[in-house]
Structure 1
Amino acid sequence: MNFSSYFATPDFQAFALHLLISIETPIHLFATFCILFKTPISMKSVKFQMFNLHFWSIGLDLGISLLTIPYFLYPALAGFPLGVLNFFEVPVRCQAFLLGVLIGLLGVSIVTILENRYYLLFGVRGHWWRHFRITFLVLNYVIACVYFYPAYYYVPDQKQALQEVFEMLPELPKELQTSKIFVLATDFRFIVLPVFFMSTLLLLESGIFTFLIYKNMSAQSKELSLSPQTIKMQKQFLRALNIQTCIPLAILLIPLCYLVISRVFLIYNQVANNFCFITIGAHGLFSTLIMLYIHIPYRNFCVDKLCSKVPGFKRRTSRVVQLFGSL
């Protein structure tokens, strides 16, 4: 393989992610304004958690598309960064650790929103959970900050590791063989096991809180301890939150599935590698756009203030809302 395709080059990777962050930044800033100043009183209890999720989503976008810009030689756990931190000579292992932490903190922020909903609805008065929730949340954030440490600590000897990479990828272009390639790991356990542990923990916690929320709402609906209007509003918010988080995660499954297949069959395709990380870098953009649309107060503000001069936009938007149902 050689650089016969521009899409396989480091220049394309850097250009694409720079372009992406230039598009994302104004949208992220606008969404931040909406959360801070356009969140209605009815959503006040979740305002901080919404901002927390949005903050770490921005952090991951900046981490991938500006600070590090990873050029990954998958299926080998090797590559080199092209981002701003590279110009400040920040060690590559530290840049990889930063991305791992940002991914963990983004996942914990999703759990935090679900926990907040459960606590406000069912755990405020006389419930045992209110005595443990702070410890639970702090522990989650601590785990997110340290789970990737094995990958940081067990970085292999680079000379020997590079030789293994060249043996694994004999078709590696000459242009890359002479680059400053950094090998994060030769033993996948130091990467896979921490990531698997963190992913399982976050999915388990999210599933438990979602189940408990719906279970308790159903029980209190039967007991008439919550009004039908309150239950309807809470279900609407949970549906909106599920869509806001699940659709971007579903988009991430495409590059993640390819990376798994690439590793199993030892497929090296640099064009696919580049587009995988570009897709991952676009996660925050999808999440922000969905948030602005799926939550009614933000959607109304966008339509009223930003799109009022576009002929027929309000009419077309209302038809879309009617088609898919207002959340």
Structure 2
Amino acid sequence: MSLLLHDYYVTNYTKCSKCDSFLCSWQGLAFSSHSITVVLLPFHLLGGYCILFKTPVYMTFYRWPLFNLHFWSCFVDILISALITPYLIFPAVAGFPVGLLHLLRVPIPLQVWLGIMSIYVMIMSMTILLENRHNSIPSNRFRITGKIMKTLYYSIRVLMAFIYSIGIFLCVPDDQQGALLQILKEIPCPTEEFFTVKEIFVLCIDDYYINFLASITALGVLFECSQMLFFMLCCLYYLFFAINGFTSKKTRKLQIAFFGSIILQVSIPVMFLLPSFVFMVFSVVMGYYNQALTNFAVLHASVHGFLSTVVVLVIHKPYRNFIRSFFCKSVKPEVTIKSVMDTRRMSVFPTHVTT
């Protein structure tokens, strides 16, 4: 703690009414977040196992995009709740990590960059899932069929995210202690962690640059949402209006079922994340400080991957039957990709030779 911060702590801060609730402290955030990880990790693993080994043959084309979204959703959950566990100080753009990466002495800027890129890749995995469903409709004139075009399309998007994730560090104050003093003008009575924690990282204190970052972030979210909306509208049009391209009613019915499950899988976790996002934007824009609510917003966001896993296990009949088979042995197993490969292997290498 610098001398000026210490003077503020022993004079002005003694007059503040402090938040003494468990959730206001970094220990409360860390304990709650890490407990969530311990409880939910088995569900994440179960979801991944079902997708990889219990996916039926007729869902082969759907398996890897589904697993890609599942992996990144769960990874972001674990990143927030266990690896980084960010103690955010809003409306100031500052905070410090209390997760495993901090114990391993990973630099805070690197953790910030990892968090931003992981969230973006998770959002992109949602688009990939919708684009996979969009491309599976044979009569769709807007399909991205060429490997070169698809590679270029996703490479450009990753490059844009990389540039953004690097650009946010252009306005990091060199004098971090001076930045903390400036934050005290906006938040005169923060929690005691503000003074006792050694490594609080201030990303930016320039209001103009903060507004610029907010605008770029909003444009990026709008760009991603517009792509998802385009793929969804194309699917809706070809599944319910331009239906002449389907060879049979059964194929169209199966396509509609897959499309509905994808909409649920993408929309429910996003809607669950929305309250945390809205609160954080409100906090920054309106200058509202409430550390307990900020920490709760972090906890709320850290379980969206669990909700996504539950949706996957519930809405897809093969996975649902697998879960039921633990309790009811009469459930008929699906013909999975793994079972087909095992059958082929047995046909090539017979276990019994008759003479």
User: Which of the five TM-score ranges fits, normalised by the shorter chain?
Assistant: 0.7 to 0.9
- Match of residue 22 from structure 1: 38
The 5 Å alignment of 1:308-319 reads 308=328
Aligned with 1:196 (options 218, 242, 248):
218
- Please give the per-residue CA displacement for 1:259-280, whole angstroms capped at 9, x wherever unaligned: 2222233221111011000001
Aligned to 1:279: 300
Contact 1:101/1:146, CA 8 A, preserved across alignment: no
Letter of the 2:255 counterpart: Q
Within a 5 Å distance, the mapping from 1:1-150 to structure 2 comes to 1-122=17-138, 129-131=144-146, 132-150=149-167
- The question of whether the paired residues in 1 share the 8 Å contact of 2:37 and 2:82 is answered with yes
Counterpart residue number, 2:179: 161
Q: Secondary structure at the match of 2:289?
A: coil
1:184 counterpart SS class = strand
Q: Residue in 1 aligned with 2:227?
A: 205
User: C-alpha separation between the residues in 2 aligned to 1:190 and 1:38?
Assistant: 46
Displacement after TM superposition at 1:186 (Å) = 1.8
- The alpha-carbon distance between structure 1 residues 98 and 191, as it changes in their structure 2 partners (threshold 3 A), is farther
Residue 191 of structure 2 corresponds to: 173
Instruction: Please point out which of 245, 260, 273 is paired with 1:252.
Output: 273
Distance in 2, matches of 1:89 and 1:153, equals: 23
- Secondary structure of the 2:202 match is strand
User: Matches of 2:245 and 2:110 in 1, distance apart?
Assistant: 54
1:293 Cα deviation from its structure 2 partner: 0.6
Amino acid at match of 1:164: Q
**Structure 2 CA distance for partners of 1:277 and 1:220, relative to 1, 3 Å:** same
Q: How does 1:211-230 map to 2 (within 5 A)?
A: 211-221=233-243, 223=244, 225-230=246-251
Give the drift of 1:198: 2.3
Q: Offset at 1:21?
A: 0.7
- Are the counterparts in 2 of residues 63 and 69 from structure 1 also a CA contact under 8 Å? yes
Q: Which runs of 5+ in 2 are unaligned?
A: 1-16, 332-355
TM-score between both structures, scaled by the size of structure 1: 0.88
- CA change 1:160–1:298 in 2 (3 A) is same
* Pair 95,224 (structure 1): closer, same or farther in 2 beyond 3 Å: closer
Match of 1:183 in 2: 202
Instruction: Check the 8 A contact 2:283/2:289 in 1, yes or no.
Output: yes
Shift of 1:175: 4.0
Superposed, which structure 2 residues align to 1:234-249 within 5 Å? 234-249=255-270
**Contact kept? 2:314, 2:320, Cα under 8 Å:** yes
Further displaced range: 264-273 or 152-161: 152-161
TM-score of the pair, normalised by structure 2: 0.81
Aligned to 1:319: none
Q: Is the 8 A contact 2:37 2:81 kept in 1?
A: yes
Encode CA deviations 1:234-283: one digit per residue, 9 max, x unaligned.
11111111111111111111122222222233221111011000001111
Contact 2:86 2:99 in 1 (8 A): yes
- C-alpha separation between the residues in 1 aligned to 2:268 and 2:317? 18
In structure 2, what is the Cα distance between the partners aligned to 1:122 and 1:134?
20
Q: 1:220/1:175 Cα in 2 relative to 1: closer, same or farther (>3 Å)?
A: closer
Name the CA distance, whole Å, in 1 between partners of 2:271 and 2:145.
33
Structure 1 segment 284-295 matched on structure 2, within 5 A: 284-295=305-316
Instruction: Note the residue ranges of structure 1 that are not aligned, 5 or more in a row.
Output: 315-327
| Equivalent residues in 2 for 1:258-277, closer than 5 Å | 258-277=279-298
> Which amino acid counterpart does residue 81 of structure 2 have in structure 1?
S
Is the Cα contact below 8 Å between 1:97 and 1:152 reproduced in 2?
A: no
Deviation at 1:128, TM superposition (A): 7.2
CA deviations on 1:43-74 (whole Å, 9 max, x unpaired) are 10011101111111122012111111100111
Aligned residues: percent identity? 31
Q: Which fold has the larger relative contact order, with Cα–Cα distance below 8 Å and residues 6 or more apart in sequence?
A: 2
Report the Cα offset of residue 133 of structure 1: 2.3
Cα RMSD after superposing both structures: 2.1
Structure 1 pair 272–120 and aligned structure 2 pair: CA distance change class (3 A): same
Match of 2:8 in 1: none
